[in-house]
Amino acid sequence: MTTYLLAGGGTAGHVNPMLAVADGLRARRPEDEVLILGTAEGLESRLVPERGYELLVVPKVPFPRRPNADAARFPARFAKAVKTVRRYIAERGVDVVLGVGGYAAAPAYVAARRERIPAVVHEANARPGLANVLGARSAAAVGVAFEGTPLKRGEVVGMPLRPEIVGLDREATRAAAAAHFGLDPDRPVLLVFGGSLGARRINQTLAEAWPDVLAAGWQLLHVTGERNEVEDPHADGYVILPYIDRMDLAFAIADLIVARSGASTVSEVSALGIPAVYVPYAVGNGEQRLNAASAVERGAARLIDDADFTPERFRRDIVPLLADRDRLDRMREAAADAGTRYGTENVIAHLDRALKETRS
């Protein structure tokens, strides 16, 4: 029996890939033990137990960004976090650690090194976080989701994806998806979304430009997000929803997507071979723009900056694309080569390799 410790969390972008790997490990060998290391404050504190895994809690210790009282307390607090993880490793007989970034990953990497067990890194974003930058220096294997990610010894393995995305047959599911949303399966569909809370710029633009989509002969499935209210015009062929809990069905019926370019979104859309127009979130360290770069370079997607995503730009760049079936076909072909549905298997292969090298 092998015992795995998967470390990371904080956001869905960390937790969901980690849980996909956990599910893959459990499905492969149910007798193996899969433990999750996270913080009490992160999203993992809810999602991990809901998925049926044991959550081992480590104190949240952010890396200091400036010299202040927190910076002075950091060494002792981080040492305590590492000590906690070392105890988990020893008591539970952990054989290998997988870190995906976030507050729990950094102490897990240090603890693994001190306990002399292998650690594997997976980085979901094209711009790596500090924990994974540090962890990659001593890791047995380093996997990245996107080409060009500046991480030492990084190998492109793709993103571990949800099972419903990995197994989605878009063509076979299209009719059922159309019925689910009240759309016509024989007419093309533009899917627009911006995340669970929404994207104000995207919503504001679509509030003005939606008639142009319908005039082009397309239907529109618009997911506004829970915090962004958009008035529903109740137009035939325009379905507007605050949230969708069956994104697999939304992807099944989408012929073109307009969305933010979070790592999971880009990975799922690319894996399914769907053409896209990405509008990167302008706040942060620019990782969303980088996440979309490889798909854009391959011709699978286009990119419009958030500040430029106006109704006028939509009418100038996207509406003509709706009528250009040849261009959409070329984007679709390129999208099929831009992603992979085997991210989970690839990360598990890294874990297997790390274990084999340690035991040989």
Q: How confident is the model at residue 232 (pLDDT cuts 50, 70, 90)?
A: confident
Contact 353, 359 (CB under 8 A): no
Give the rounded percent of residues in the chain with a pLDDT score beyond 90. Answer: 80
* 207 and 297 inside one domain: yes
* 110 and 256 inside one domain: no
* 61 and 116 inside one domain: yes
* 128 and 172 inside one domain: no
Q: Total domain count for the chain?
A: 2
- CA separation, residue 92 to residues 89, 183, 282 (Å): 5, 51, 43
> Which parts of the chain are beta strand (E)?
3-7, 33-38, 54-57, 96-99, 119-123, 141-144, 154-156, 189-193, 219-223, 238-241, 256-259, 276-278, 301-303
> Could you list the residue range(s) of the whole structural domain that residue 139 is in?
3-161+341-359
d(CA 269, CA 254): 10
Burial of 64 (0-12, 13-18, 19+ CB in 10 A): middle
Q: How confident is the model at residue 11 (pLDDT cuts 50, 70, 90)?
A: confident
d(CA 209, CA 244): 22
Contact 317, 136 (CB under 8 A): no
Q: At what angle do helices 325-338 and 263-271 cross, to 10 degrees?
A: 110
* 61 and 192 inside one domain: no
* 170 and 150 inside one domain: no
Average pLDDT of the chain to the nearest whole number = 93
* 348 and 327 inside one domain: no
* 295 and 224 inside one domain: yes
The CATH code of the domain that includes 213 is 3.40.50.2000
* 190 and 157 inside one domain: no
- CA separation, residue 263 to residues 90, 268, 316 (Å): 34, 9, 27
DSSP 62: P
Contact 231, 202 (CB under 8 A): no
Among candidate residues 16, 51, 46, the one with its CA nearest the CA of residue 263: 16
Residue 178: is its pLDDT beyond 60? yes
pLDDT tens column, 137-162: 999 999 999 999 999 899 999 999 98
Q: Work out whether the CA dihedral 69, 71, 74, 76 comes out positive or negative.
A: negative
Q: Which residue has the tokens 């976090």?
A: 81
Residue 195: is its pLDDT beyond 70? no
Among candidate residues 30, 165, 4, 25, the one with its CA nearest the CA of residue 99: 4
Residue 79: is its pLDDT beyond 80? yes
* 118 and 262 inside one domain: no
| pTM of structure | 0.90
* 111 and 203 inside one domain: no
* 156 and 222 inside one domain: no
